Amino acid sequence: MNSVVLSAREFLGFEICKALLEEGSCVYAFDYGEWDSGLYEEKWLEIGRNANLTFSPVLEEAMIPEKVTCFIPLFDYATRMDEESIYFLKKDLITFMKSARDRIELTVFIAPSQLLNDNRDEYKVIYSMLQECMEIIKEQKWQVVYVPTLFGPWQPEGYLFQQILNEDIKDRFLDDPEDAIFITDAVHTLIKESRKGDNKSRFLLKSEKEGNWLLCLEALKKGYKEDRIILEKNLSDVKVIPVAETVSPLQVFRIQKQRVNDFCK
């Protein structure tokens, strides 16, 4: 099976690439050259040389074959919320979708669960990106998968769990404090759902453990208190998909911390 993955070296995009390659898919991975850093080089070593992987630092529709499944992790785009970056990201994405849509059999958007909040002011640009892309491919097959806080190795510093591990807690964080899922479990679930081929479907991935964000926070830093603001989500026409936990959060955080230590050496 052929798959396209955007933001392929970012937190979620990278994990999608790894999972697809592990199952034997051919992956056409795209990222943005201006995001390049030593961190990306370190992460890419985990994949190594793979005959099924084609990578480009620019979005180039001519590289991809016909009838691909295209994964667009808007979740990663949300970590690039500065005005200049998001403007160019949106422009490039819209251009790519217009030129590549005839080659794409199914588009899977992976969006932060905060987009389901009626008050989504902080994510209005991401929401408009999603709406414009869906308008471009409205006659084709698409799915939207909403994901809560994802944690695991290489989690961006905008998330509270990583800030705690870095011992550098900021005034704000990107987490959805209602739920949290280990990124590998989330990716395996969303790929499985994409294989079912449902069209014009919306899903919300939800941990089988109620209140898992708080449980993870307690496992990470006992006694740490965080005032949570949980906004009600509009789940009309959204199917909730439970995600089972395969690794304990404490084990994940140990690996996550080790990655930080290794990279900082």
- H or E element that contains 239: strand 239-243
Q: Note whether 143 and 107 are within 8 A (CB).
A: yes
Q: What is the mean pLDDT of residues 152-177?
A: 92
Q: How far apart are CA 151 and CA 185, in angstroms?
A: 10
Q: What is the pLDDT of residue 163?
A: 93
Q: What is the pLDDT of residue 15?
A: 96
User: What pLDDT band is residue 82 in, cutting at 50, 70 and 90?
Assistant: low
Determine whether domain 2-264 maps to CATH 3.40.50.720: yes
Residue 233 DSSP one-character state: B
- Could you read off the pLDDT of 94-135 as tens digits, one per residue? 999 999 999 999 999 999 999 998 766 778 889 999 999 999
Q: Note whether 142 and 107 are within 8 A (CB).
A: yes
- Residues counted in the chain: 265
Q: What is the pLDDT of residue 209?
A: 96
Q: What is the mean pLDDT of residues 6-24?
A: 95
- Could you read off the pLDDT of 210-258 as tens digits, one per residue? 999 999 999 888 777 777 777 788 899 999 999 999 999 999 999 998 8
- Closest by CA position to 177, among listed 118, 128, 112, 241: 112
Q: What is the pLDDT of residue 198?
A: 87
Choose between 85 and 23: higher pLDDT. 23
Residue 261 DSSP one-character state: H
- Token reading at 49: 């040389």
Q: Is the pLDDT of residue 265 over 60?
A: no
- Could you read off the pLDDT of 52-63 as tens digits, one per residue? 999 988 888 888
Q: What is the pLDDT of residue 84?
A: 65
- Could you read off the pLDDT of 177-193 as tens digits, one per residue? 999 999 999 999 999 99
* DSSP codes of every residue in the chain: -EEEESSTTSHHHHHHHHHHHHTT-EEEEE--GGG--HHHHHHHTTT-S-TTEEEESS--GGGS-SSEEEEEEHHHHTT--SHHHHHHHHHHHHHHHHHHGGGEEEEEEEEEGGGGBS--GGGHHHHHHHHHHHHHTTTSEEEEEEE-EEESTT--TTSHHHHHHTT---S-----TT-EEEHHHHHHHHHHHHHTT-SSEEEEEEESSTTHHHHHHHHHSTT-------PPB--TT-EEEEE--SS-HHHHHHHHHHHHHHHH-
- Could you read off the pLDDT of 142-161 as tens digits, one per residue? 999 999 999 999 999 999 99
User: What pLDDT band is residue 34 in, cutting at 50, 70 and 90?
Assistant: low
Choose between 263 and 97: higher pLDDT. 97
Q: What is the pLDDT of residue 176?
A: 94
